[in-house]
A and B are shown apart, each in its own frame.
Chain A
């Protein structure tokens, strides 16, 4: 038990020590503790993985966290096949990124802070994936959001970074609003928050309804959709995707670890974890699939025209997360998790590679000012090529296997699925285009930055390139555990490994259909490369012409469909104005304060009037008394 508890505790320990003593004592040696801690977690995670592989599912409760009336929730861990894979992904990539950060963050005044937050993040993420109940999941969920906030706002003296951190947290809160209510509803429905108990009872509530605003809605659908709200926020799906591109304000290792490989996939993990619930609701499943499919293509279109190297990759991440949800929504949970796993490697590699470029160019992120870096940074270039081959789905590379599986499962997923398959295939074309565009703009052609900078261009140090090369191994080979049966019998090892938790997707197509889907996906990958090659290597002036010709479209995409502006116009500004002018200015100050300060004034006015009654003349008093007596007598005589 201690072994499993230590997996999250080691990074927590590193956080506590670094944050308390980093500023005055540890300083630039913060990684001395952080790296071994996270590597220790990795070793323990591997050991836990092997325990699971040998057939042990670990479910331990450590202590009762909250007890109130019939409500009871524990701090406890569940390590099954799904968690085991997540543990490997999280700890292995964290270890590499920690090492990379030693080089990347070297000399930063907040070096100890960086490693503190990063350690806290790993702790939180591990809690998130290891939890055995919904509330501890929520704990991890919020805690990774907290770390994300700290790390996006790491360079807090920049207003843009401070804004982005705050935005990420608040946008996520919108999703968590639903998620939290979902968790409460889970308890009220099932009388427990522990996964295994809830999922065990899932079938017993089929057909039950819940009354919301007078409508009777299917209970499970409501629960699933509420939970999915959280996933939309955390995994940056439409319409809550707006925070992720801005999150690129954080240091690049953060973008790689949190905003590509691990945290943003929490939503995918959560939905996969709750598959026994989601599978019972067609509405919820279709919602997940449609949100995923639309986000996949929507984000890809924005990625086509962005010039900031990290933003291109960020939109690519949003798009790839969309693929994962598409997979989950068509019931191919293991395909979604498989893509999560391969994506973690190639996307972390893309980010860290771009970090290497940005490092060499002294924080320049605009690709229009790059170019020709191939000869200066050969290692970075080649790992970038490998990652791109992987993400675009070239056969043999990791991304091919996972993406192909998703496309195939979508194709088999009924009418909704077929439509989404088409969307996703187009998105794959766009993915190939923007990925190669990034390579060509950055590494090919002539250097377009300032002349004096060109002489200082150099490959990054080993502490950066070695993690890159290791990740490249993952970007190439990670997919080999999920080779479709069509190409190799018993090749889909990961699917089989996950089957006890995630089940098998239903529906079987013919070999020819599977070949067709696969062929299409390879075809669009090549087509994307070809178009990018034509536009950015052969005719470098072509993009501008195209951009000028389709100006409105270009502007729409370049400005991200003006969604940020829209939200600002219809949510943020009105809320602030309403608070200031109506609530505080009018209501609090005029109405309530007016009444409160008005009452004494009113009393003052009245009492001065009443004072006039007190004339002091005995005859007046006598008159009033007589009138009163008359009135009473009259009442007694006639009205009763």
Chain B
């Protein structure tokens, strides 16, 4: 195994990170006191976060190879291994997942009163599932994690969600399941063509016939496009985000929908480079549509949470646009924007959750004048607004700029069209801000009995890390970009290799297709 670096630390750091939440969930089974459960969950997620930090410091940025690798035989007769590791593409998502999970526990402190135990177990198992997806280097393991994280999310929406929760949960489940099943077919095909192995790295290093690549690309696309979500398979997202409890929305927006884009980077692009080039145009077009379409829908939204949910469609359109620009700026911008979106939209959902706890309404028209009522809240929200719009100095700018740069470099027209999303973004976010925070206050909220309280210390602590990241990435993105340089470079080299089948073969294949 020359293409991996075995764990450079003297303890299995990735295993610890992934399974500590599972251990915590098991621990919760034996508890009944809600306060104790909350503190335990917080401690477990905080510990997971802390344990994962050495990954950032010990990471070797100069190589694209998988690092911190652990590999043990698991089911030898099927060639299945317990094989995990991270590279420059996945490392930041480990960080994001452990961070957001911790914040989710904090924000749910008061909001979740029914079935607190089950809720926290769901959060912890989901954290483990998400981390597992990002570290898995064996398809079997990957698929287990991939499906495993669906269940707690399904429960989070269906049990602790809003009034339409059951509809939203089932819709979410069916959508992702249909996609996943097609991916499973793809994995099985890979298993047999790749010589009975499920080793992701081995399978990535192989070359597949172009026609097979097309089919497999589409099979994986089914799973990933739903997750991202790309236009036109995005309609599960507004329902799921809106109905989910705050923690669910944060995890959905922050991490779960990144899985799709991560899948493109980890599987579709390295394994099917010719298909990737072939599908580049349609992917770019779908991305541009998502950007503009999502933004336009936001202009028409009357529900606070739904608006932010739809803005994710637009922002994730930027991510896929960057990735499929297939150049280093676009791809690094895309990866960074995934992180950014997790931070910004995660924080937006946290804040909407916080204000919802006070007002119990999501209808934008019920708000107004909140800048006077909750000035600190309003002050933080405007930062998020501008980060979301992509104002220089915030992280949103770095991501969006690199993506637009990459897209413009690849295809001028798409770059230019996508840039209109920047205008529309300013439109819907500032209009939202005006309607919620400016103008006259709704008299309902000014009366003493309903007085809306400003942020408390717990809430400030919950939000603070995300705001620090917003400015950190905005002013010195190199801290984060430097992790991905080598991996992205390697990925692009791989795509730009000559096609697997020469032109003659291709023609032969085409002829075969016709007859």
* CB-based nearest B residue for A576: B299
| Shortest beta-carbon distance from B456 to chain A in Å | 15
> Is B285 part of the contact surface with A, judged by Cβ < 8 Å?
no
Q: Which residues of chain B come closer than 8 Å to A575, judged between CB atoms?
A: 296, 299
Tell me whether B329 and A143 are in contact (CB under 8 A).
Answer: no
A143 to B478, CA, bound (A): 21
Chain A 433-461 near chain B by CB (<8 Å), digits 1 or 0: 00000000000000000000000000000
A505 to B482, CA, bound (A): 47
Q: Which residues of chain B come closer than 8 Å to A143, judged between CB atoms?
A: 391-393
Q: Which of A59-67, A421-429, A558-566 contacts B (4 or more CB under 8 A)?
A: A59-67
Interface residues of B in 26-69 (CB under 8 A from A): none
> Is A250 part of the contact surface with B, judged by Cβ < 8 Å?
no
Chain B 476-515 near chain A by CB (<8 Å), digits 1 or 0: 1110011001001100000000000000000000000000
> Is B426 part of the contact surface with A, judged by Cβ < 8 Å?
yes
Tell me whether B332 and A68 are in contact (CB under 8 A).
Answer: yes
Tell me whether A67 and B478 are in contact (CB under 8 A).
Answer: yes
* CB-based nearest A residue for B174: A600
Q: Which residues of chain A come closer than 8 Å to B412, judged between CB atoms?
A: 212
Interface residues of B in 413-435 (CB under 8 A from A): 413, 415-416, 419-420, 422-423, 426-427, 430-431, 434
Which one of A66, A70, A584, A587 contacts B401 once the chains associate, using CB atoms below 8 Å? A66
Tell me whether A180 and B404 are in contact (CB under 8 A).
Answer: yes
| Shortest beta-carbon distance from B297 to chain A in Å | 5
| Shortest beta-carbon distance from A134 to chain B in Å | 11
A173 to B485, CA, bound (A): 31
A169 to B434, CA, bound (A): 12
Tell me whether A181 and B416 are in contact (CB under 8 A).
Answer: yes
Chain A 171-189 near chain B by CB (<8 Å), digits 1 or 0: 0011011001100110110
| Listed residue (B386, B412, B415) with the most chain A CB atoms within 10 angstroms of its CB | B412
Tell me whether A580 and B300 are in contact (CB under 8 A).
Answer: yes
Which one of B332, B398, B423, B489 contacts A173 once the chains associate, using CB atoms below 8 Å? B423
> Is B254 part of the contact surface with A, judged by Cβ < 8 Å?
no
| Shortest beta-carbon distance from A382 to chain B in Å | 39
> Is A71 part of the contact surface with B, judged by Cβ < 8 Å?
yes
Tell me whether A184 and B478 are in contact (CB under 8 A).
Answer: no
Chain B 366-404 near chain A by CB (<8 Å), digits 1 or 0: 000101100100010000001000011100011001101
> Is A194 part of the contact surface with B, judged by Cβ < 8 Å?
no
Q: Which residues of chain B come closer than 8 Å to A68, judged between CB atoms?
A: 328-329, 332-333, 402, 481, 485
Assuming A157-B369, A159-B439, A170-B427, is B392 touching A583 (CB within 8 A)? no
Tell me whether B415 and A166 are in contact (CB under 8 A).
Answer: no
> Is A596 part of the contact surface with B, judged by Cβ < 8 Å?
yes
Tell me whether A23 and B375 are in contact (CB under 8 A).
Answer: yes
> Is A138 part of the contact surface with B, judged by Cβ < 8 Å?
yes
Q: Which residues of chain A come closer than 8 Å to B431, judged between CB atoms?
A: 166
Interface residues of A in 130-163 (CB under 8 A from B): 135, 138-139, 142-143, 146, 149, 153, 156-159, 162-163
Interface residues of A in 18-53 (CB under 8 A from B): 19, 23
Tell me whether B235 and A579 are in contact (CB under 8 A).
Answer: no
Q: Which residues of chain A come closer than 8 Å to B379, judged between CB atoms?
A: 19
Interface residues of A in 539-596 (CB under 8 A from B): 575-576, 578-580, 583-585, 587-588, 592-593, 596
Tell me whether A66 and B481 are in contact (CB under 8 A).
Answer: yes
What's the count of A-B pairs with C-beta under 8 Å?
141
Q: Which residues of chain B come closer than 8 Å to A173, judged between CB atoms?
A: 422-423, 426
Chain A interface residue count: which class?
Answer: 35 or more
A162 to B432, CA, bound (A): 12
Interface residues of B in 294-315 (CB under 8 A from A): 296-301
> Is A69 part of the contact surface with B, judged by Cβ < 8 Å?
yes
Tell me whether A69 and B328 are in contact (CB under 8 A).
Answer: yes
* CB-based nearest B residue for A69: B328
Which one of B171, B232, B235, B371 contacts A156 once the chains associate, using CB atoms below 8 Å? B371
> Is B327 part of the contact surface with A, judged by Cβ < 8 Å?
yes
A65 to B478, CA, bound (A): 7
Tell me whether B391 and A142 are in contact (CB under 8 A).
Answer: yes
Q: Which residues of chain B come closer than 8 Å to A66, judged between CB atoms?
A: 398, 401-402, 477-478, 481
Q: Which residues of chain B come closer than 8 Å to A174, judged between CB atoms?
A: 423
A63 to B369, CA, bound (A): 41
Assuming A162-B439, A583-B300, is B235 touching A588 (CB within 8 A)? yes
Chain B interface residue count: which class?
Answer: 35 or more
Tell me whether A579 and B297 are in contact (CB under 8 A).
Answer: yes
> Is B437 part of the contact surface with A, judged by Cβ < 8 Å?
yes
Tell me whether B438 and A153 are in contact (CB under 8 A).
Answer: yes
Tell me whether B423 and A177 are in contact (CB under 8 A).
Answer: yes
> Is B405 part of the contact surface with A, judged by Cβ < 8 Å?
yes
| Shortest beta-carbon distance from B240 to chain A in Å | 13
A620 to B126, CA, bound (A): 51
> Is B264 part of the contact surface with A, judged by Cβ < 8 Å?
no
| Shortest beta-carbon distance from A486 to chain B in Å | 45
Tell me whether A138 and B477 are in contact (CB under 8 A).
Answer: no
A143 to B413, CA, bound (A): 27
Which one of A23, A138, A580 contacts B392 once the chains associate, using CB atoms below 8 Å? A138
Tell me whether B375 and A188 are in contact (CB under 8 A).
Answer: no
| Listed residue (A143, A159, A165, A173) with the most chain B CB atoms within 10 angstroms of its CB | A173
Tell me whether B440 and A184 are in contact (CB under 8 A).
Answer: no
Which one of B234, B419, B438, B476 contacts A63 once the chains associate, using CB atoms below 8 Å? B476
* CB-based nearest A residue for B336: A68
* CB-based nearest A residue for B296: A579
Tell me whether A64 and B478 are in contact (CB under 8 A).
Answer: yes
Tell me whether A579 and B300 are in contact (CB under 8 A).
Answer: yes
> Is B409 part of the contact surface with A, judged by Cβ < 8 Å?
yes
> Is B445 part of the contact surface with A, judged by Cβ < 8 Å?
no
A149 to B415, CA, bound (A): 27
> Is B293 part of the contact surface with A, judged by Cβ < 8 Å?
yes
> Is B408 part of the contact surface with A, judged by Cβ < 8 Å?
yes
| Shortest beta-carbon distance from B321 to chain A in Å | 14
A64 to B476, CA, bound (A): 8
Tell me whether B405 and A71 are in contact (CB under 8 A).
Answer: yes
Tell me whether B430 and A170 are in contact (CB under 8 A).
Answer: yes
Q: Which residues of chain B come closer than 8 Å to A176, judged between CB atoms?
A: 422
Q: Which residues of chain A come closer than 8 Å to B329, judged between CB atoms?
A: 68-69, 71
A165 to B371, CA, bound (A): 15
| Listed residue (A64, A142, A143, A165) with the most chain B CB atoms within 10 angstroms of its CB | A142
Tell me whether B408 and A184 are in contact (CB under 8 A).
Answer: yes
A580 to B310, CA, bound (A): 13
A579 to B174, CA, bound (A): 28
Q: Which residues of chain B come closer than 8 Å to A153, judged between CB atoms?
A: 434, 438
| Listed residue (B235, B369, B420) with the most chain A CB atoms within 10 angstroms of its CB | B235
A185 to B481, CA, bound (A): 22
Tell me whether B423 and A166 are in contact (CB under 8 A).
Answer: no
* CB-based nearest B residue for A580: B300
Q: Which residues of chain B come closer than 8 Å to A19, judged between CB atoms?
A: 379
A343 to B324, CA, bound (A): 49
Tell me whether B235 and A583 are in contact (CB under 8 A).
Answer: no
Assuming A69-B327, A157-B438, A580-B300, is B409 touching A188 (CB within 8 A)? yes
* CB-based nearest B residue for A63: B476
Tell me whether A593 and B392 are in contact (CB under 8 A).
Answer: no
| Shortest beta-carbon distance from A182 to chain B in Å | 11
Given contacts A142-B397, A170-B426, A588-B235, 19 further A-B contacts (CB under 8 A): A63-B476, A68-B328, A68-B485, A69-B328, A71-B328, A71-B402, A139-B392, A142-B392, A149-B430, A157-B440, A158-B439, A169-B426, A181-B404, A181-B415, A185-B408, A188-B408, A578-B296, A584-B300, A588-B297
Rank and list the top 3 A-B pairs by shortest CB-CB distance, nearest first: A69-B328, A580-B300, A139-B392
- Name B's A-contacting residues (CB within 8 A): 171, 174-175, 232, 234-235, 293, 296-301, 327-329, 332-333, 369, 371-372, 375, 379, 386, 391-393, 397-398, 401-402, 404-405, 408-409, 412-413, 415-416, 419-420, 422-423, 426-427, 430-431, 434, 437-441, 475-478, 481-482, 485, 488-489
| A and B contact pairs by CB, cutoff 8 A, 18 listed | A66-B477, A68-B332, A68-B485, A138-B392, A139-B393, A142-B397, A166-B431, A170-B423, A170-B427, A173-B422, A177-B422, A181-B419, A185-B408, A579-B297, A580-B300, A583-B300, A584-B300, A596-B175
